[in-house]
């Protein structure tokens, strides 16, 4: 895993308190929509955005109009999910301990201010390692973005149509699933830095499971605020691609053979 820069040795006056990392895979139109959503929040929040172009594509036109600073990283070749977000974190250091790092997929729409309550949760509850909102599909269906720890038996059940979504009471404001999907994750910058960011050994898939698991093992929790939500415009095209299936299987094998899995499985068994 690459070393994450110590942010608190670097001070840049152009930086802001909330750093959002977006990685585009030729998804410029979706990025434009998302940046437009974020621009609506910029009047009440101090934002900066790092946009990583993992594939060659034109810069979104809306970048020139955003009311917040936007750093664009152009990769020479495709990098993994974790490597891209780790690089974004390191390239845009933030000035003080009250800084927050938000990972957002380009196919997410933000139609309400989810950032203020997420930051408030992270700021006031120092045991929260990751904060996340509910995630709804375009059709209005609640997605399974908050889940139980995957197990070989659970994956077998999922193959036959059973879901691994966390069985939380949706009337409960906060709940603590085993992990949340990487489409929208909020961290205190110092926590993300101290944990070493994402494990870049996972090229795609299970980086989010691994990171949530490592945070649990460090004494942090994973929190979902059910009163706030984002919309996920998922295309699911990767499900029909053999290369993505190979990456998925490799990540599953890596996670299930890891010490992190063995340790966090016992931890979650004890807390149930």
Residue ranges and CATH numbers for the domains of the chain are 7-271 (3.90.550.10)
What is the residue-level pLDDT of the chain in tens, covering all 272 positions?
Answer: 333 433 323 333 344 589 999 999 999 999 999 999 999 886 667 889 999 999 999 888 888 788 898 999 999 999 999 999 999 999 866 555 678 999 999 999 999 999 999 999 998 899 999 999 999 999 999 998 999 999 988 776 665 555 566 766 556 788 999 999 999 999 999 999 999 999 999 998 999 999 999 999 999 999 999 999 999 987 655 556 788 889 899 999 999 999 999 999 999 988 76
Query: Of how many residues is the chain composed?
Result: 272
Instruction: Name the β-bridge partners of 181.
Output: none
State the Cα–Cα distance between residues 1 and 198, nearest whole angstrom. Answer: 8
In degrees and rounded to multiples of 5, residue 53 shows phi and psi of: -95, 105
Residue 71 phi/psi, 5-degree rounding, is -95, 130
Cα 167 from Cα 118, distance rounded (Å): 21
CB 130 within 8 A of CB 212: yes
Does an H or E element contain 214, and which? helix 207-217
Question: Would residue 242 be called left, alpha or beta, if left means φ above 0 and alpha means ψ between -120 and 50 degrees?
Answer: alpha
Helices and strands of the chain, counted as H and E runs: 8, 11
């Amino acid at each position: 895993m690459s070393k994450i820069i110590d942010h608190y040795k670097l001070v840049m006056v152009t930086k802001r308190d909330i750093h959002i990392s977006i990685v585009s895979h030729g998804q410029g139109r979706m990025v434009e929509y998302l940046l437009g959503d974020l621009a609506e929040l910029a009047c009440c929040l101090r934002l900066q955005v790092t946009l990583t172009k993992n594939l060659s594509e034109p810069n979104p036109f809306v970048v020139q109009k955003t009311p917040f600073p936007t750093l664009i990283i152009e990769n020479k070749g495709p990098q993994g999910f974790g490597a891209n977000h780790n690089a974004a974190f390191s390239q845009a250091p933030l000035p003080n301990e009250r800084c927050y790092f938000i990972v957002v997929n380009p196919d997410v729409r933000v139609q309400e201010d989810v950032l203020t309550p997420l930051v408030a949760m992270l700021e006031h509850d120092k045991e929260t390692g990751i904060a996340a909102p509910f995630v709804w599909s375009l059709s209005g269906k609640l997605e399974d973005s908050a889940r139980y720890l995957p197990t070989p038996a659970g994956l077998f059940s999922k193959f036959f149509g059973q879901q691994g979504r966390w069985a939380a009471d949706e009337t409960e404001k906060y709940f603590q699933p085993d992990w949340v999907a990487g489409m929208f994750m909020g961290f205190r910058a110092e926590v993300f830095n101290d944990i070493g960011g994402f494990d870049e050994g996972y090229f795609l898939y299970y980086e989010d499971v691994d990171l949530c698991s490592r945070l649990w093992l460090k004494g942090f929790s994973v929190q979902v605020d059910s009163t706030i939500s984002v919309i996920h415009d998922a295309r699911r095209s990767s499900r029909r691609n053999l290369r993505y299936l190979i990456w998925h299987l490799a990540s599953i094998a890596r996670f299930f053979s890891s010490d992190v899995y063995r340790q966090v499985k016992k931890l979650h068994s004890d807390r149930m």
